[in-house]
Each structure stands twice: as C-alpha cells, then as structure tokens.
Amino acid sequence: MRLRDKVIIITGSTTGIGKAIAVRCVAEGARVLIHGLEEDWGKSVIKELGKDKARLHIEDISQEGAPGRLVDLAVQSFGKLDAVVNNAAIVSSSNIHTTDKAFLQRILEVNIIAPFELIKAALPHLEKQRGCILNIGSVNAWSGEPNLFAYSISKGALMTMTRNLGDTLHRENMVRVNQINPGWVLTETEMQRKKEHGLAENWYEDLPSVYAPAGRILWPSEIAAAAVYWLADESGPISGQVVDLEQHPFIGRNPPKDPSTIKISK
C-alpha cells in the first residue's frame, strides 16, 4: 500500500474529486478526514470507508477558525497529520460584467485564502512528519474561460502559492507542496451544472472533439490516481510542481464564448 498509515485531510471530500481521492487514499492504506458542507453525503462516505478509517467534519472552510478545527480533529482522531489536500472550491459562473467585489471576495475566501490558512494551521504537524501538501487547481489557472472569470483568477492565485511555498516550505520545513490541475472532470456537480445550462441528461456521452479528443472527459477516479503519487513517499523530494491533467493542450483552443452553448445531441 502506497499510503500505509498516513493521515490525510481532504477538503471538499463529500463528493466529486475530493471523495474519489479519499476513497483511493483509504484503499492505499491511509486514514482520512472527510470535510464538506453536505452532512448526508459525508455520512455516506464515512459508512463506505469505515469509521476506523475516516472522520467527518462539516463546516464552511472559510469560517473563522475552521482550518484549525480540521487539523485538531485529524490529530485528535489519528494521532498525527501527514498530508493536506486542498480540494474544496466554489465553481461558479461569472464574467467581468457579472462579477462584483463581494462575489470575487467570496470566491477568493474559499478557493485561495482558506487553503492558505489550512496550510498554516497544519504546518507544525506536517513538519514533524516531513509531510506534504497537494493543492487541487484547474487548467483554468492558465487562461480561464469567458464564463469562469472569478474562479479562474482564484486558481491562478493557488498555482502561484504552490510554486512559492513549494520552494520556501521545502527548504525551511521539509514539507513538499505540489499541485495538480484537472481539466474537465465528470463529477456529480458538473453533471448538474450542465443540466442547469439546459443540456440533456446524457450530455457527456457525445462531446465535440475540441473538448474531448478521446470521446469522453476525465473521471474523478483518474484524478485520484494521480493524487496518490504526490501524497506518497515515492514522489521523493519533488516540490513546487504544477501538473496539468488534461487530454489536450488547454491554451490555444478556441471554445465558444459561453460553454453552455455547446451543441450536444439529445
């Protein structure tokens, strides 16, 4: 098992990519702290993983003191902390015309400030274990999408933080910091978002090749498989790296101005 006896906090893990990472981590021998906003979904994840392998914390990660409470629960439950996965994020459509100061601040609070605060809260424990941090970004960090303006800004900031801390924390604290940037992933929330945009129930079964040359988009389990490498000791001393997980070069593509206008057969 590649993560035997490791203790890992995974934010935003009651569903989607975070849940897939948690499931894979436990399968690789880790114990995990599940976090999110959906208590029913969280309890379902705990039942699937087992109470001896997982604990649940339901709270908005941007609330004052929430990062510290996550760290405290992990250490109290399992005796140590080896890794943090910053996965929780708000994915909300916006452009420069629909984004106001309050909306942008809310996106930044959850998507970049909360990960920063969790890293600070976890650092003393991670230093003891020579542990690691894995930030879950997005290919949107590089160039964004017309209708994911605020979200893309936040992921660009996360990528810069990863590069910076990947150098400084590795030198000062022997804590590695890396990031993976998923492309288009078929999560439960993504399926719902596209249906709300007016697409058919099975929209993901027939996608234009510009978005999915392989004929499909990524699965959460494929992102989880990549995450294990960065959480495991086998990634060695590597730090400050950002890896795109997408099936085509993102920059240089010419998608329509609004992704919700994709023509998909019903």
Q: What is the pLDDT of residues 33-47, one digit of tens each?
A: 999 999 999 999 999
Render 173-187 in DSSP notation, one character per residue. Answer: H--EEEEEEE-SB--
Q: Looking at the chain, how many residues does it have?
A: 266
Return the bridge partners of 149, or none: none
pLDDT above 80 for 28: yes
- Residue at 195 is within a domain: no
Q: The sheet that has 31-36: what strands, in order across it? A: 54-58, 31-36, 7-10, 83-86, 132-136, 176-182, 242-245
Number of structural domains the chain divides into: 1
pLDDT above 60 for 263: no
- Residue at 201 is within a domain: no
Please give the structure tokens belonging to residue 121.
Answer: 């809260």
Question: Whole domain around residue 133: which residue ranges?
Answer: 7-185+220-248
For residue 242, what is the enclosing H or E element? strand 242-245
- Residue at 260 is within a domain: no
Q: With left for phi above 0 and alpha for psi between -120 and 50, is residue 225 left, alpha or beta?
A: alpha
Query: Which pTM does this prediction carry?
Result: 0.91
- Residue at 64 is within a domain: yes
Question: Average pLDDT in the 68-95 region?
Answer: 97
pLDDT above 90 for 12: yes
- Residue at 206 is within a domain: no
- Find the CATH number of the domain harbouring 49: 3.40.50.720
pLDDT of amino acid 203: 85
- Residue at 197 is within a domain: no
- Residue at 77 is within a domain: yes
Which one is predicted more confidently, 261 or 189? 189
What is the b/e burial string over 19-50, where b = at least 16 CB atoms within 10 angstroms of the residue's CB?
Answer: bbbbbbbbebebbbbbbbeeeebbeebbeebe
Question: Average pLDDT in the 247-262 region?
Answer: 61
| 49 vs 205: CA distance, rounded Å | 30
Report in angstroms the alpha-carbon separations of 224 from 20, 27, 79, 173.
6, 11, 24, 26
pLDDT of amino acid 205: 86
Catalytically active residues, by annotation: 151
pLDDT in tens, 84-140: 999 999 999 999 999 999 999 999 999 999 999 999 999 999 999 999 999 999 999
pLDDT above 70 for 255: no
pLDDT in tens, 83-97: 999 999 999 999 999
pLDDT of amino acid 224: 98
- Residue at 193 is within a domain: no
pLDDT in tens, 143-193: 878 889 999 999 999 999 999 999 999 999 999 999 999 998 988 888 877
